Chain A
Amino acid sequence: GAVVSQHPSWVICKSGTSVKIECRSLDFQATTMFWYRQFPKQSLMLMATSNEGSKATYEQGVEKDKFLINHASLTLSTLTVTSAHPEDSSFYICSATPFGIMDNSPLHFGNGTRLTVT
């Protein structure tokens, strides 16, 4: 149980275009989802916290107008990279927590999306 699906797994886009990444909780409801970014050989850095039905909370230094997050339902959060540039190339991972979970429950991660901007 507790499966998180992320799509697409990889995407190549041209500079200046926008790319949407979807994160779905397949067998549970997720009131909160998290978006992480991982550079090669580095750790996961939290970008934003996505809350169903409300605005996302962005970490310091993350441009909210560039990384648009929408959490329209209890099973879907989307991250849109707007006007992508080569420096946005990275590995993006979403994670979700079930609604009403036990306090010690771990986050469940999607498989990640490798974004390459040319």
Chain B
Amino acid sequence: AQTVTQSQPEMSVQEAETVTLSCTYDTSESDYYLFWYKQPPSRQMILVIRQEAYKQQNATENRFSVNFQKAAKSFSLKISDSQLGDAAMYFCAYRSPAYSGAGSYQLTFGKGTKLSVIP
């Protein structure tokens, strides 16, 4: 079974500064997908960024980028130019490829990191 570990329960960042959230995972699969989801106080799960394991290039989405280190099984999220609206719980998630079976689309989540943005 896959496991996802987020070792930072809470983080804080000054507005406009950069912060990096850590995530490591354990798997025996070579193909998989990794995601970062944001959960604001409204508790709506919002996709921030995704990464396919077969891609060496790190994914980027505007101010959000990842550092994907497949050999180290590490998938950190970098938020640049932090904004007040970035304050939320951030969850790292793992998903197996579709050919793994019927339940392969299910996500395995880490415990989350609560990010606070200081004005």
Contact = CB atoms under 8 A, between A and B. Distances in A.
Interface residues of A, number: 22
B106 A42 contact: no
Interface in B65-119: 91, 97-98, 102-103, 105-112
Given A43-B112, A91-B43, A111-B42, A106 B106 contact: no
Contacts of A44: 45, 91, 107, 109
B91 A32 contact: no
Interface string A5-35: 0000000000000000000000000001010
Given A43-B109, A43-B111, A106 B102 contact: no
B33 to A, nearest CB: 5
A43 to B, nearest CB: 5
A20 B36 CA distance: 30
B33 A104 contact: yes
18 contacts: A32-B102, A32-B103, A34-B105, A43-B91, A43-B109, A43-B110, A46-B106, A46-B108, A49-B103, A57-B102, A57-B103, A91-B43, A95-B45, A97-B105, A104-B33, A104-B50, A104-B52, A111-B43
| Nearest 8 pairs of A and B residues by beta carbon | A109-B45, A43-B109, A97-B105, A106-B47, A43-B111, A103-B98, A49-B103, A44-B109
Nearest to B98: A103
Main secondary structure of the interface of B (DSSP, over half): mixed
B28 interface: no
B30 interface: no
Contacts of A45: 109
B30 to A, nearest CB: 14
A51 interface: yes
A109 B91 CA distance: 14
B44 interface: yes
Contacts of A49: 102-103, 106
B97 A103 contact: yes
B25 interface: no
A69 interface: no
Interface string B30-47: 000101000000111101
